[in-house]
Structure 1
Amino acid sequence: MRWTAILYGSVGAAAVVAGLLIPWLVHSRGSAGAPGWQGLVNPGALSEAHRFLAGECEACHVPHEGVEAKRCLTCHTATSFADKPSTRFHAQATACATCHVEHLGRSQPTQMNHAALLEAGAWLQAQKPHAGASLAALDCASCHASKDAHQGLMGSGCVQCHGTESWRISTFQHPPAASTQCSECHRPPPSHTMMHFSMVSQRVAGKKARVDQCFACHVTDDWNTIRSVGRYDHH
């Protein structure tokens, strides 16, 4: 019984010493201050883009505090977020880790959290939705305009049909294949607005239809499948 008590006491004492010594060494000397400890606390592999930082915890983390946004800027300070509408809002971000989550072993660390766009603590936007606003208050088109499959035909009220969890609309039903009003929703690709349309597209389809008579050459289940011809990916 005595030896068991001594054993348990020794293990407990060692755990207490390690619990105090390791944080002190890491805080004062960095992640290399206590060799081998990282293997005990590492939550998972970094993304491919950040894999070169493996083992260098303080490159992103502040001891006892967590990820610090300004450390992200050490590498990303030269990134021009204003080049694309979909990344322009990053210029006012104050908490990178809200959407960029590491240690999941994925190819990309991005895990978009639309709700974070309503948090004043993460975003300092001049025209931020008022406190307590719902996701419906977000201006979806300000980021997604370049990927608007509707090409502006449906306006900017994306939230009327789309959600933030999935872009698909479960209740959407495409008009029947016999419909002849395709041009109300679909605009022609650039190839249809130049001589390519008469020299190639019309000849391949074997039709003399106008560019707004989509139904004469196309089917509704695959835009690149031409009636009586089959799949022809030439746009």
Structure 2
Amino acid sequence: MRRRWAIVACWLAAAGPAQAGVFETLVMPGPVAKAHADIEGECAKCHEPFRAEAQRGLCLDCHDAVAADQRERAGYHGKHPVAAKAECRSCHGEHRGRDADVAGLDRAAFDHAMSDFALEGLHATVRCAACHAAGKPFRDAGRACGDCHGDADPHRGELGRDCAKCHDAGGWAGARFDHATTDFALAGRHAEVRCGACHAGGYASTPADCGSCHLVDDAHRGRYGTRCGDCHAAAGWKEAAFDHARDTRFALAGRHAEIACEGCHASGFEKALATDCASCHRADDVHEGRHGSRCGDCHGAAAWTPARFDHDVRTKFALAGAHRGLACESCHTRPAHEQALATTCISCHRDDDAHEGQQGESCERCHVAAGWREQVRFDHDLARFPLLGMHAVTACESCHTTAAHRGTATACSDCHRDDDAHGGAFGARCESCHNPNAWAAWRFDHAVQAHFALEGAHAELACASCHQPASEGGALRAIATDCGSCHEADDRHQGDLGRDCGRCHGQADWRDVRVR
């Protein structure tokens, strides 16, 4: 027998696909079921030669809904431990004739819990056909309550299709409903009322405001609006409450809590009163309106006195340093506290100004509130004379002999005339040669500052060779820059050719003669 099948296999391998298809048809064990009849001649749709393990994948290629259930672990084929892993043929046989039951479903033994809808309560007693329509796959039956019970809904869809929010599978009559889920909890007397007393024309559209039900009971005739709950509780009308702070935005504190309602509401409660202090206390205002109507900024509800006043906040002038220790009357003199004062320093300290107004009126640029001599600061660099070198360590009084600092001259000679070793011979601009670090740190460019460049033989001469001191030990004198002023005694031409020797001679040597 084995030899015979080996011969057949060799024949198939040599024959090619066409002969193989004919052979498979010849050896087919029987007709396929009606559902597969259209592919009966296409064996490759369900089989691969000599690979029985490939059959499950081929089944799922066509039955994609079952494949999806297995991927998502849903439905019977995705949840059942055997169906999710076993070969399809282990439950679904084929080639047993056109009328064979491929599904092989034993309805009596089927565990509905393995589907996506467990049968509980009355559902377990219902015939399959009541939910699963004939001619349609079982998996296509709807699972929402309304899919089966839509026509039986006495609420006519007003409460939605999720019947399970109130009902369970045990029966319609055993309904439960948490009224608090409607944003209207049944408390007090409301819990004793029949549903129909409020829900006369349905459920979903019933308003939840008090006035919708109790307008006919309103003893106030609508004067206080429809929010009965602001004063009344669900326990009963007579259990009324009124929170003055909450309901009027005016808390009764201090003396206000001791006053009878009529003390303020003289004409009744129908009209809301103003909540500003002056509307009731205008006649009590000893300031006669000069401080406005916001009495609470200084006074408390307990009594007019003692009063509080935050000078820093109310006047935009913080009391700091020496100001904090002053009596109010030191500044507020006419009359005390009633007239707002200017907040500039000079408005109070003009008589204290040692600078006699020369530094302007912004005292705070240099002084602090702790005291005139405390932490005095001044950025001299912002003045016309920045402090550099030795000037930066010099006491202010060395240059500023009076408190009126402005107007002090800034020329070097204004302070250093007595220090001038040159006796004024070089003018008043000491900075042309000297810098603020020290007198000895000087520089002198003869070409720039004397307008006479030292070239040739001149460059090697000592200063005193040309500049004789004005006196013993005194400064050198400035001299003329023409050649004759120094070389008149050297002139071999005895003045016949003028004093401009440079027309013919160079500065390196007299013998360096050029003739033009």
TM bucket (normalised to shorter chain) is 0.3 to 0.5
- TM-score in terms of structure 1 length: 0.38
User: TM-score scaled to structure 2, two decimals?
Assistant: 0.20
Structure whose CA Rg is larger? 2
